[in-house]
Structure 1
Amino acid sequence: MHTERSAAAADRHVGDVDLTHWRSRAGRRIAGAWAALGKRYGAMPLLLLTLAVGVGIAVLATWIASEVYDAVREADDVAVLDRPVLDWALTLRSPTGDRLVTWWTDIAGTIGMPIVALGFLVGFTVQRRAWTPLVLLVAASGGSLLMTIAGKDLIGRARPPLSDAVPPYESSPSFPSGHTLNATVIVGTIVYLLLLRQSRVVTRVWTIVVGTLFVLSVGASRVFLGHHWLTDVLAAWALGLAWLALVITAHRLYLTALHRGAEPEPGALGRS
């Protein structure tokens, strides 16, 4: 059985890249401060605090995105992209294609994505005998959900007309695309956790390719079905990648704190 420290040691590298090595001066200063705090308070509490701060930053970024979107919408620049792309999607539809795309997009829905996340969560936690995958996936999922809710409440954008949509219809606000945002963050976190334990370059490349294609196809499916405008999907990709970057940075700071001497957490699943 591994301790949290030994599990973290195994997660320090992605290929030849040491995640506890910070190239920029600002990164080194922040990492040094986090390592000092980790020695005093423990690495896991610090990870939880970092993620909590990150959620606040992510929600703030969503508000900023909503303000930018409002400014663009007032200038009618959004319509330049949205309507033509939806009109083109209408020409691609067929009964069989509509059913297949609906099935595919449901994988990233409110039922499908939690099942995917839970399956990987159980696998990661059992395999690694550590709480870190649980913390990262739950935080990533919770943050993306808050960003989705905040964005929809702030913008309140109407979805494309029902006459242009494939049933079943959705009634919640359109901006941002929740399916796309959640898929970007959750699948991105899963890909990151997989990369930490993959030694072969070809395996890592295929993991990234498959994860990227899934996220891109989910976003495309939302436009194809007429459930979202293109700009809803583009915003969801941008916000999702920003939050994913914060989650990965929080984990890197956690690894750095443990590597530089923070004590193992008492909540580890086992002992050596």
Structure 2
Amino acid sequence: MHPLEPSEPERTIGARDLTTWRSPVGRWLRRVFGALAERVRNTDLAALLLLGLAAAVAVGGTVVAGEIYAAVLTDTGLALVDQPVLDRMVDIRTPGLNAVIATFSATGGTLWMTLITAAAVTGLCLLWKRWTPLVLMVIAVTGSLAMTIAGKRISGRARPPLELSIPPPETSASFPSGHSLNSLVIAGIGVYLLVSHLVSAVARAVTVTVGVLYAAAMGLSRVYLGHHWLTDVLAAWCLGLAWLAVVITCHRLWLTQHRDHALGPRPEPNPEPSPG
């Protein structure tokens, strides 16, 4: 099998077939993607085109979200939750806890996150003899970085006061939290890749739990350190989850189209008749 073609484990998560679309929206997306793939005569190119369009929409959405976010904070006082939360974080700080959380938070920075992700992706590519981990991760991270940069440039939101933050200080805009957004996307793609290859339901549950806890802890660590407001982190989580949904949906469409070419189109499941 060519390393760019989908393998059998990629198509399922436990008993769930990722190439089966049960919702009306899913079936509509399947038809649209199938038509695009036939039009360009290349499933891989169709997936890249769809992802490119989705990424442009995501970045545009981030810009709009930044504008709305700033207006909402100004007009409704939503930011009133930020200062009390930061004050509480300052109250519970200890030298030992500061060191532990600062070290953990550093794993979500550019250097360490790049090294850790590169090592993990390389290991999965070699283990599975597939390019899927690399391709999905590059696409996901490129999109999340673009969203982070766009959001920071548009919002220009000031970070918490330096006297309340733990060194080293951050200089870029506060919205959205790049550590929170990018770590969620990277952890999410990693979990998605792993659960499709894990046979044990317990192992899948543990993997999902670890991924969720890591992303949550990374976001909260940024608030604890005084590098971000809580609302920066909440917004980053929302943006990251939305982008994850886009990337995973596009991957499922790609899997479906490859399966249809190999086996012939599968009839779409009929909605269950309503009782009575």
Is this a same-fold pair by TM over 0.5? yes
Alignment match, 2:10:
11
Number of residue pairs matched by the alignment: 262
Structure 1's unaligned 5+ residue stretches are 264-272
Give the TM-score of the pair, scaled to structure 2.
Answer: 0.90
Does structure 2 conserve the Cα–Cα contact (< 8 Å) formed by 1:11 and 1:197? yes
**Greater CA drift, 106-115 or 120-129:** 120-129
Alignment match, 2:32:
33
Structure 1 residues 24-63: aligned runs within 5 Å: 24-39=23-38, 41-63=41-63
Does structure 2 conserve the Cα–Cα contact (< 8 Å) formed by 1:183 and 1:218? yes
**Greater CA drift, 176-185 or 74-83:** 74-83
- The one-character-per-residue Cα deviations of 1:106-161 (angstroms, maximum 9, x if unpaired) are 00101111112101211222222232221110011111111000000010001000
- Aligned letter for 2:206? W
- Aligned letter for 1:142? T
Distance 1:85 1:76 in 2: 18
- The one-character-per-residue Cα deviations of 1:159-196 (angstroms, maximum 9, x if unpaired) are 00000000011111100000000001011101101011
Q: What percent of counterpart residues are identical? A: 45
Does structure 1 conserve the Cα–Cα contact (< 8 Å) formed by 2:3 and 2:131? no
Distance 2:70 2:167 in 1: 28
Distance 1:171 1:50 in 2: 34
- Aligned letter for 2:144? S
Residue 49 (structure 1) shift: 1.6
- The one-character-per-residue Cα deviations of 1:210-253 (angstroms, maximum 9, x if unpaired) are 00000000000000000000000000000000001001001001
Q: Are residues 1:105 and 2:125 paired?
A: no
Q: Are residues 1:227 and 2:227 paired?
A: yes
Q: Could you say if the C-alpha distance between residues 183 and 3 of structure 1 is closer, same or farther in structure 2, counting changes exceeding 3 Å?
A: closer
Alignment match, 1:192:
192
Give the TM-score of the pair, scaled to structure 1.
Answer: 0.92
Structure 2's unaligned 5+ residue stretches are 264-276
Residue 205 (structure 1) shift: 0.2
Does structure 1 conserve the Cα–Cα contact (< 8 Å) formed by 2:125 and 2:131? yes
Residue 36 (structure 1) shift: 4.2
Alignment match, 1:266:
none
Q: Could you say if the C-alpha distance between residues 127 and 107 of structure 1 is closer, same or farther in structure 2, counting changes exceeding 3 Å?
A: same
Alignment match, 2:94:
94
Alignment match, 1:22:
21
Alignment match, 2:268:
none
Does structure 2 conserve the Cα–Cα contact (< 8 Å) formed by 1:47 and 1:254? yes
Does structure 2 conserve the Cα–Cα contact (< 8 Å) formed by 1:55 and 1:143? yes
Structure 1 residues 1-272: aligned runs within 5 Å: 3-5=3-5, 7-39=6-38, 41-261=41-261
Q: Which runs of 4+ in 1 moved over 6 A?
A: none
Distance 2:218 2:96 in 1: 17
**Greater CA drift, 239-248 or 52-61:** 52-61
Residue 29 (structure 1) shift: 2.5
Distance 1:33 1:71 in 2: 36
Ranked by relative contact order (alpha carbons within 8 Å, sequence separation 6 or more), the top structure is: 1
CA RMSD of aligned residues (A): 1.6
